[in-house]
Homo-oligomer: A and B are copies of this chain.
Amino acid sequence: MSISSMVVDQYRGKEVTFIAQILQTAVNKDIISFAGGLPNPISFPQEALKESANRIIDTYGSSAFQYSNTEGLKALREFEADKLNKKLGLHLDAENVVITTGSQQSMDIIPKLFINPGDGIIVENPSYLGALQAFDYYRPTYYPVDLHEDGLDLEQLEEALQHDNVKFAYLIPEFQNPTGISYTNENRAEITKLLKKYNCLVIEDDPYGELRFEGEHGIYVGLGQYEKSALLGTFSKSVTPGMRLGYIVSEDKELLRYYAAVKENSDLHTNIFAQYLIWDYMTHNDHQKHIDEIVDLYRSQANAMLQAMEKYFPEGTTFTHPDGGMFIWATLPEGMKSLDLFPKAVEKLVAFVPGDPFYVHPENVRTMRLNFTNASPEMIDEGIHRLGDLIKEEMK
């Protein structure tokens, strides 16, 4: 019996994931790639992290190298609790926070904890493909709710919430991945009302919240508004993704005790050196100043991409105008398909992620995700120029 015939149905034939395929195609160094979701490496505070690495080894010695507890470093959990307390006037403590091996870990643990085959998950349509791909294993019934410029479609959401088998909603209200859309506060308040009405657990993912070009972070649909919720955060976008460090926060400590019990089976605990490192970095540096610098950088890159799109994209091509985050979501003229365009774009040495894997039921997908954080304004102009020319050619 071959290995492939032995694997469970959910993985049969999925030796290589869609993301891996896309990234492989775009690995050519000459390609201008808007496909990834990588922070700009300029944004990593390397020298400060090096100082922290030396300081924590000198100060904490073997504790930074030994096995540790599943919930995570207490000082780091308290740091995150305090930050949210100050921001939201809450009374969280360390037991309201579990450190995760990247936010991605929650995409596996949450459905593992709650989903029997057929149970319902409410997701945005489109939603983060890394979440959908991880959820898929658990064979849920998806209830996709359309995302508009102002946020979730409330009628569709209420309809979805009426299904008895719904276990949780997974939402990214701030600089959504893939669209870059932020729900309005009015939209969020209505969502919270509906979640309460139907007593539905909400997992609110906020990886990009700190990366805001203008205005203020929207209200959370869960944390501080409604106890049956959990907030996912990460240090990947504001410090370093390579450390794989995220966290889950909830007012419901029982939820986090269950979470930790499941996490123990996956990795025992998150890298403790990394936890000391990030905690030391956060408490010894002006982190807000660092974020301001990243935001300035990303704002200029986003503007470069938007200006280039205005200039080079033909009529009939639309795109979102995010106030932060890392992505712009473009829609091709009617009749075109993003998946068809992709290989032609790669031939012209420019790459994006076709919208398809972000939908539960992709069909004639005209959308694409474009990342603006990992190329210079000049390269962005050149890449969008190439893409615009290609779209024009295809329209002929």
Contacts and interface: CB of A to CB of B under 8 A. Distances in A.
Please list the 9 inter-chain residue pairs (A to B) with the smallest Cβ-Cβ separation, ordered nearest first.
Answer: A41-B62, A134-B265, A65-B240, A242-B272, A44-B65, A65-B242, A15-B257, A53-B53, A67-B241
When all copies of this chain in the complex are counted, the total is 2
B6 A167 contact: yes
A266 B4 contact: no
A108 to B, nearest CB: 5
A273 to B, nearest CB: 5
Contacts of A39: 66-67
A46 B41 contact: no
Given A134-B265, A261-B15, A241 B66 contact: yes
A19 interface: yes
Contact of A114 (B6, B20, B266): B6
A1 B201 CA distance: 10
A57 interface: yes
Given A57-B50, A66-B242, A67-B242, A265 B41 contact: no
A333 interface: no
Interface string A1-21: 111101111010011110110
B255 A267 contact: no
A214 B272 CA distance: 33
Given A8-B115, A11-B258, A266-B266, 6 more contacts: A9-B116, A17-B264, A39-B66, A65-B241, A130-B265, A133-B264
A254 interface: yes
Nearest to A113: B7
Interface stretch (A97-105, A154-162, A336-344, A383-391): A97-105
A300 interface: no
A147 interface: no
26 contacts: A1-B199, A7-B113, A11-B258, A15-B254, A15-B261, A17-B264, A20-B264, A36-B67, A38-B66, A41-B61, A41-B62, A44-B65, A46-B61, A50-B57, A65-B241, A65-B242, A65-B243, A66-B242, A68-B242, A101-B267, A104-B267, A104-B268, A134-B266, A137-B262, A244-B269, A266-B266
Contacts of A50: 53-54, 57
A115 B6 CA distance: 9
Nearest to A50: B57
A153 interface: no
A64 interface: yes
B113 A267 contact: no
A49 interface: yes
Contacts of A260: 20
Interface in A273-299: 273-274
A269 B20 CA distance: 12
